[in-house]
Amino acid sequence: MIKHPSFTVEEWKIHETELNLDILAQTESVFALSNGHIGLRGNLDEGEPYGLPGTYLNSFYELRPLPYAEGGYGYPESGQAIVNVTNGKIIRLLVDDTPFDVRYGLLQSHERELDLRAGVLHRTVNWVSPTGRSIKVSSTRMVSFTQRAIAAISYEVEPIDSSVRIVLQSELVANEALPDAGKDPRAGTVSLSPLEGEEHEVRNTRGLLVHHTQASSLRMGAAMDHQIEGPKGMTIEAESTPDIARVSVSAQLRPGERLRIIKFLAYGWSSQRSRSAISDQIIAALSAARSTGWEGLLAEQRGFLNDFWKSSNIEIEGDAEVQQALRFALFHVLQAGCRGEQRPIPAKGLTGPGYDGHTFWDTEICVLPALILTLPRAAADVLRWRHSTLHLAKERARQLGLRGAAFPWRTIHGEASSSYWPAGTAAFHINADIAYAVTHYIESTEDRAFEKEIGLELLVETARLWRSLGFLNVNGEFRIDGVTGPDEYSALVDNNVYTNLMAQHNLRSAAEAAKRHPHVARALGVHAGEIASWSEAAEKMFIPYDKSLNVTPQDDAFTSHEVWNFADTKTDHYPLLLYFPYFDLYRKQVVKQADLVLAMHLRGDAFTAEQKARNFAYYEPLTVRDSSLSASTQAVIAAEVGQLQLAYDYLAEVAFMDLYDLEHNTRDGLHIASLVGTWSALVAGFGGMRLYGGSLAFAPRLPESVARLAFRILFRNRCIYIEVTATDVRYSLIEGSPLAIWHHGDKLALSTNEAVIRPIPRIKVGPRPTQPPGRAPVERAAQSYSCKTTEQPHHSVHLRP
């Protein structure tokens, strides 16, 4: 939708210059605000029209039955779905008894701006009612990064050319009617009236609703309070029912007069606290917000974001659209994780109900690598959440006849929630993905307290799973059979290379960590024989290789399968999962998303440079990218093997996944892993950053269209600045003690005394690989225009040291 002429290219904003009802649901996702605890979709303030209403609390869910045509032992009995909780965004407006509705009267202008530095959504409207009354409406909405339970709205109305009677109805509304989710399996499940009322009250300008879910037995509360500014003679009324709390303000306004409401919202939920405790909590949060005041909340928000952009901003010269999309992506990744505080990061964040609000493996593999190097505290919190669900993962492993922990493929609370076990239970690699994130965090932060308290147990229990899931055969090879790797178009395969290499890393990491912390390991029941068995399994891990093709097969049998008939597959029959049975997909060479290519990214130490180039060339013509997770990994490896223009094309696909609605499901929420993939494509792709053996390595190269790339990372209490041009790279240690890094295989010593500048060596590149017909990424040409800038950026977000 950003290609629509109503959107402009600006450095620090997503700016919609006119309202388009045909893409309303998509823009509601784009303009969503969140802090990782509360999520508000970008619905219009008046509540209608809407594409998809949505207000979410992280991990607040309802249970739903999982029907099976034919049941089986070990199948999950119920699923979990995120709940659309009480909507506090609504401020209805009546102009001389006529409801303000953009579908009626004359909409003279309508603009919305998502300000990425201020962390707010601005809206300005000029409207003429069906009775000829002209008004201007201005609103600003925020979800606080500094006060976790708080959101706030400033809503202002003024007449243009004649006196009018204005009524504002500020509401809390539970159990909103939701549109049908349709048949797309990626969409969420609609639950009718999921909340049962427990308490409702209004007192002066304050309102409160408390509800609970029927099956999951979770309790949540929402409260609102107001500061009202207007002419003398205003009247204020309040009322409540179990599902509605309403404060109404009525005033006669003349031209030049304004009626303004500052609405403070507070949300809280618990599975254990009483009704009165929830009520007291959100009332206390409201008191703190009122004490801070609207201007104070705005100042806190901007201060928080100033600090974030200091360490996280990336500058790319040569493509203004990608620069804008990159900052949009980083902002939403921040929103998804910054105040989750030991809760998961769902695949859609808190921007929509897609995938039922579940978290998947992409949290640990796609999202956390960026958070670890930009906002490590948030990454640690996500891993602490995984640790809090360890007892459920261990119970699931026992149910499956395995030792250790079997973490669920998709979940909200920690239980398995996938009814399709070939792509759910069998995707055991999620256990190694979690272990990989643990080791990545520890190596990047040297947080040994976390390693002893959280990390070691996660590594131990996931290592135990692999030792019991795999086996040593008569040839002395450690095999892992009957699993599903990242490519969901291949299921129940033997020796998926990604799974085996990640399990190998898991086993080695567990053995090393247990040796570092022997007392903690013994408390977990680890003994010398078990450590030796992990090391043996890692050492003898079987990695198949196809000598006839001279490539690494995705699994034992992959390269022996028939190649999918791409030539006769219609271009409008993607994603394939919506048009073809899995039975047919599973037995063909067709790749939904990067699998072996992802193994080369995360376990690049297991492949030579020549193998990477050959493997990449082999899998490109088979990969259809029916998953939003794929293009960023393909960008990273394309850059590594020297296919820089192809990497640039994939970067653009990742950057515009939601802004162009490429997967046609942005209406259900943003793709958080794809958004953070923009960071990966630039930092790990064109920046060539890798973390192997506790050492940072860089191998930067830029495509012709990019003149300069600059970014910062936080590593072991140090801030490192990297600036790449076409010919050389500048490494600067901004703060922290001296550090050794690697540049294209050469060791460098960094200190705060001076920058180190090195040339970028040339690379021999083979022919550009092809993709399946109709599935090549759109070629990204150089962009000659620049971003529109409405104000000078703060010096604090400039990256130059």
pLDDT 10s digits, 467-508: 999 999 999 999 999 999 999 999 999 999 999 999 999 999
With CA atoms as reference, report the closest residue to 352 among 7, 678, 665, 673. 665
Specify the pLDDT at position 783: 58
As a whole number of angstroms, the distance between CA 165 and CA 78 comes to 52
Tokens of 2: 């950003």
Instruction: Decide if pLDDT at 798 tops 70.
Output: no
The pLDDT of residue 74 is 87
Assign 492 to helix, strand or coil.
Answer: coil
Percent of the chain with pLDDT over 70: 96
Cα separation, 74 vs 401, in Å, equals 10
Does the annotation mark 488 as catalytic? Answer: yes
The catalytically annotated residue of 488, 530, 620, 640 is: 488
Phi, psi of 495 (to 5 degrees): 55, 55
What is the model's pLDDT at position 421? 87
CB neighbour list of residue 599: distance below 8 Å, 6 or more residues apart: 497, 498, 501, 502, 606
Task: Note the pLDDT tens digit of each residue in 159-170.
Answer: 999 999 999 999
Rounded mean pLDDT, 511-518: 98
Buried/exposed code over 356-395 (b: 16+ C-beta within 10 A; e: otherwise): bbbbbbbbbbbbbbbbbbbbbebbbbbbbbbbebbebbbe
For residues 358-383, average pLDDT = 96
pLDDT digits (tens, 9 = 90+) for 570-622: 999 999 999 999 999 999 999 999 999 999 999 999 999 999 999 999 999 99
Give the pLDDT confidence score for residue 789 in this predicted structure.
Answer: 47
Q: What is the pLDDT of residues 174-219, one digit of tens each?
A: 999 888 766 666 666 656 679 999 999 999 999 999 999 999 999 9
What would the pLDDT profile of 139-150 be if each residue is shown by its tens digit? 999 999 999 999
Lowest mean pLDDT among 42-46, 106-110, 287-291, 418-422: 418-422
Taking the C-alpha atoms of residue 104 and residue 94, their distance in angstroms, rounded to an integer, is: 13
Mean pLDDT of 745-756: 96
What confidence score (pLDDT) does residue 788 get? 54
User: 548, 37, 579: which is closest to 267 by C-alpha?
Assistant: 37
Domains in the chain (CATH in brackets) are 31-309 (2.70.98.40), 343-543 (1.50.10.10)
Q: Do residues 207 and 246 make contact, with C-beta atoms less than 8 angstroms apart?
A: yes
**Above 50 in pLDDT, residue 785?**
no
Mean pLDDT (the chain, rounded): 94
Selection from 460, 461, 480 nearest residue 472 by Cα: 480
Give the residue-averaged pLDDT of 643-667: 95
- Per the listing, tokens 């995360």 go with 602
Q: Among 194-203, 287-296, 648-657, 791-800, which is the least confidently predicted range?
A: 791-800
Q: What is the pLDDT of residue 782?
A: 61
What percentage of the chain's residues is helix, strand, coil (to nearest 5)?
Answer: 35, 25, 40
Query: What is the pLDDT, as a whole number, of residue 571?
Result: 93
Tell me the C-alpha distance between 554 and 754, whole Å: 45
Instruction: Using DSSP bridges, classify how beta strands 55-57 and 471-472 pair: parallel, antiparallel or unpaired.
Output: unpaired
Residues making up the binding site: 361-362, 592-593
Q: Cβ distance 192 to 180 under 8 Å? A: no
Residues 6+ apart with CB under 8 A from 187: 181, 353, 354, 665, 668
Q: How far apart are CA 365 and CA 433, in angstroms?
A: 6
Q: pLDDT at position 193, please?
A: 79
Q: What is the pLDDT of residue 792?
A: 37
Q: Which residue has the tokens 């041009």?
A: 725
pLDDT at 187: 62
Whether residue 240 contacts residue 207, with contact meaning beta carbons closer than 8 Å, is answered with yes
d(CA 622, CA 576) in angstroms, rounded, equals 13
CA 161 – CA 176 distance, rounded (Å): 36
Name the residue with higher pLDDT: 390 or 65.
Answer: 390
Provide the annotated binding site for substrate: 361-362, 592-593
Closest CA to 88 of 280, 286, 231: 286
Q: What percent of the chain has pLDDT over 90?
A: 91
Give the mean model confidence (pLDDT) for residues 266-290.
Answer: 97
Neighbours of 737 (CB within 10 A): 11
The predicted pLDDT at position 223 comes to: 98
Instruction: Judge whether residue 694 has pLDDT over 90.
Output: no
Average pLDDT, stretch 646-665? 95
- In the prediction, which pLDDT does 793 show? 36
Q: Is the pLDDT of residue 1 over 90?
A: no
